[in-house]
Amino acid sequence: MELSSFYDVIVVGAGTMGMPTGAYLAEHGARILIIDTFDPPHHSGSHHGQTRMIRHAYGEGRQYVSLVKRAQFLWKELERQSGLKIFEQTGVLGQGHRSSPFLKETVDAAKNHHLPLEELSADEIMERWPGITVAEDFIGCLETGSGLLFSENAIQAYKNIALENHAEILTNTPVLDIKQGNSSVEVITRNGTFNAGKVVVTAGAWAGKLLSDLQLPLQPYRKVVGWFESPELFEAPLFPSFYVDEGDRMFYGFPSLDGSGLKLGRTDGGQPIDPDNHVQNFGYYSSDEGDLRGFLHKFMPHANGKLKTGITCLYTKSPDGHFIIDHHPNHQNIILACGFSGHGFKFGSVMGEVLGQLAQNGTTDHDISLFSLSRFEK
């Protein structure tokens, strides 16, 4: 491929956040180069494993609701535009002790934003989904309009849009450095140096290493997910996507899709790692399978079947669990989006719009004040 050396915008990292940004900018007429270490969608970052949950009444904070509503609209648009399966409306069932702050925020977020949310007692949960066993002092929150996203399909769909709109995509090419020049930004790779008016850095678990001068408060974690052989009770559309807040730990999962088996992961925990040097095989630590089995034994004993598949994946956590989306403090032409803290995928579609607008106009229509980098300056 013959590449130019000057672009309006270069997007560094073409995963969940970078690929939609490249697609948005290409669709809006910008000259775009998108660069990735691998060939997205791929299995080395944070977006693989087939599915991601999307919830609207947001337990991490009601400030996210407007963004997630826009994201949901854009995912449906993407499905229509691409012809690929992007969203499955499985509903999401949240469960936890009646004093759970996460469930309380979920209920308050729903009330605040007039979102439909059904509140259920423990008996109602177990009656409706006989596969679930919960303690009497647990409650449930059911959102029927939400569900799951097919993550690799979503990135592929945005890649197709970017290419159809003449974006250039350079794969299998790690960016080695990003330097602010006099009038443009230089992006250095072993395949050449490229210049752009603006650079958007969406490098996931590698953001801290790539922008090492900023000493970003980020920690990548190794996380695991397993698929377990399960009876029909756990098959979509009968069984919803779900999460369970146990107080000191939180698990989440997805119904079996066409016999795939129940998918289960744990939100907290995992091993802090260097993204270039960590154990990628599931089962290396006994807790990989052990934690998941412990949950199944207690809450979904009928789904505690044979392990069908297990994978590892990466979270990149910020200290407060909120994202970091900002201009580089010393270089206004560099925009960064990272620290998605294990709950970013559902926002990928709207992040394309946010980051695309920041690159084109310097500002965005969306409220991103929660995500400023300066909140850590103390």
Contacts with ligand FAD, residue ranges (CB under 6 A): 12-18, 35-38, 40, 45-47, 49, 52-53, 174-175, 202-204, 206, 210, 223, 225, 265, 313-315, 338, 340, 342-346
Residue in the block written with tokens 């993550």: 151
Kindly state the smallest distance separating residue 202's Cβ from ligand FAD, in Å: 5
Strand 6-12, strand 32-35: pairing? parallel
Nearer to ligand FAD, 117 or 324 (CB): 324
Kindly state the smallest distance separating residue 94's Cβ from ligand FAD, in Å: 13
Q: Is 134 helix (H, G, I), strand (E, B) or coil?
A: coil
Q: Are 293 and 304 contacting, i.e. CB atoms less than 8 angstroms apart?
A: yes
Kindly state the smallest distance separating residue 134's Cβ from ligand FAD, in Å: 21
Q: Is 171 helix (H, G, I), strand (E, B) or coil?
A: coil
Kindly state the smallest distance separating residue 120's Cβ from ligand FAD, in Å: 21
Nearer to ligand FAD, 239 or 315 (CB): 315
Kindly state the smallest distance separating residue 345's Cβ from ligand FAD, in Å: 3
Kindly state the smallest distance separating residue 119's Cβ from ligand FAD, in Å: 22
Give residue 67's region: left, alpha or beta (phi > 0; psi -120 to 50). Answer: alpha
DSSP string, 246-280: -SS-EEEEE-BSTT--EEEEESS--EE-BTTB---
Nearer to ligand FAD, 129 or 315 (CB): 315
Closest CA to 360 of 27, 12, 15: 27
Nearer to ligand FAD, 122 or 336 (CB): 336
Task: For residues 35 and 21, give the distance between their C-alpha atoms in angstroms, rounded to a whole number.
Answer: 12
Closest CA to 323 of 304, 307, 298, 346: 346
Q: Is 363 helix (H, G, I), strand (E, B) or coil?
A: coil
Kindly state the smallest distance separating residue 127's Cβ from ligand FAD, in Å: 26
Nearer to ligand FAD, 52 or 159 (CB): 52
Residue in the block written with tokens 């087939």: 50
Q: Are 324 and 347 contacting, i.e. CB atoms less than 8 angstroms apart?
A: no
Nearer to ligand FAD, 40 or 59 (CB): 40
Report the residue number whose CB is nearest to ligand FAD.
Answer: 15
Buried/exposed code over 131-163 (b: 16+ C-beta within 10 A; e: otherwise): bbbbeeebbbbbbeebbbbbbbbbbbbbbbbbe
Nearer to ligand FAD, 22 or 344 (CB): 344
CB neighbourhood size of 270 (10 A): 24
Nearer to ligand FAD, 132 or 350 (CB): 350
Kindly state the smallest distance separating residue 338's Cβ from ligand FAD, in Å: 6
Beta-bridged to residue 198, according to DSSP, are 9
Task: For residues 69 and 353, give the distance between their C-alpha atoms in angstroms, rounded to a whole number.
Answer: 13
